[in-house]
Amino acid sequence: MTISTISHHPPIIAPSMLKCDFGNLDREIERLDAAGAQWLHWDVMDGHFVPNLSYGALVIESVRARTKSFFDAHLMISDPEKYLDDYLKAGLDAITFHIEAVPEPTELLKRIRAAGRQAGLAINPGTPVEWVEPYLADCDLVLVMSVEPGFGGQKFMPQVLEKVKRLKSQLPAQTLLSIDGGIAAPTIAAAAAAGCQVFVAGSAVFDEPDYQSAISHLRQLASAK
Ligand code: DX5
Ligand code: ZN
């Protein structure tokens, strides 16, 4: 099993693999490597926690050895604790699950950390920030959803930036603040100014012909906060 050894310095652009061409997954990973993507963001959906189904641990595991990129899983699934071992085996570097799926997340966050991976907690746009606040010390990453999870290509919800600012003021310095949904050239600078360091981008990378220029443009806009 390969775990990423790449160092990552914010701002980090994390292409959302939900939007890639799955008929050419190898080629997509090669193109992202060549484009300088530091992280790959794997959106796992179960058709239950969210109204869409994507892929699971087997697909992620099958491509783990093809790249040294940091593998960031976003589990939009019910009962993530049942499947944790599969995702650990898949070679993920960070595993994020939703507070709405696991309202008492301490044990699961600790299991992820005990396995030597980064533990993340995600929060939906409509969920009060107070839900995650008691658990911030157990997180390596907090993921703020800026769309309702389930689909790529949705419109960014600027109201979540209040949540981002509040979290930023409370998070330990080493904990990464990530944002996911509708991140693109017109929205990324505001998210960076509010305190985000990791920017998940699906359409803004995969709908562009040149991944390298798309990623470097986003990174540049996120750096100029
Ligand atoms: C939505 C996923 C996102 C999504 C982002 O449920 O978590 O990662 O693929 O896609 P865009 O960037 O197109 O909003
Ligand atoms: Zn995601």
Global pTM?
0.97
Residue 120 Cβ inside 6 Å of ligand 1? The answer reads no
Q: Is residue 3 situated within a structural domain?
A: no
* Calpha distance 225→222 (Å, rounded): 6
Atom 6 of ligand 1, nearest CA residue: 149
Residue 210 appears among annotated catalytic residues: no
Residue 181 Cβ inside 6 Å of ligand 1? The answer reads yes
Q: Is residue 7 situated within a structural domain?
A: no
Percentage of the chain beyond pLDDT 70 is 96
The SS3 assignment for 114 reads helix
Domain hosting 84: range is 12-223
Residue with tokens 């070679």: 91
**How far away, in angstroms, is 174 Cα from ligand 1 center?**
25
Exposure of 167 in the CB half-sphere (CA atoms within 13 A): 34
Tally of domains in the chain: 1
Q: Is residue 1 situated within a structural domain?
A: no
Q: Is residue 197 situated within a structural domain?
A: yes
Please count the helices (runs of H) and the strands (runs of E) in the chain. Answer: 8, 8
Residues with CB under 5 A from ligand 2 (ion): 43, 74, 180
Position 224 confidence tier, pLDDT thresholds 50, 70, 90: confident
pLDDT over 90 at 9, yes or no: no
Q: Is residue 2 situated within a structural domain?
A: no
Residue 125 Cβ inside 6 Å of ligand 1? The answer reads no
What are the strands of the beta sheet with 70-76, ordered from one edge?
12-15, 198-201, 176-180, 141-145, 118-123, 94-98, 70-76, 39-45
CA 173 to chain centre: 19
Residue 185 is part of a domain; what is its CATH number? 3.20.20.70
**How far away, in angstroms, is 75 Cα from ligand 2 center?**
8
Q: Is residue 5 situated within a structural domain?
A: no
- Tens digit of pLDDT for each residue in 99-124? 999 999 999 999 999 999 999 999 99
Residue 164 Cβ inside 6 Å of ligand 1? The answer reads no
Angle between helices 211-223 and 25-34 in degrees, nearest 10: 50
Residue pair 121/135 in contact by the 8 Å Cβ criterion: yes
- Tens digit of pLDDT for each residue in 127-155? 999 999 999 999 999 999 999 999 999 99
Q: Is residue 128 situated within a structural domain?
A: yes
Q: Average per-residue pLDDT in the chain?
A: 96
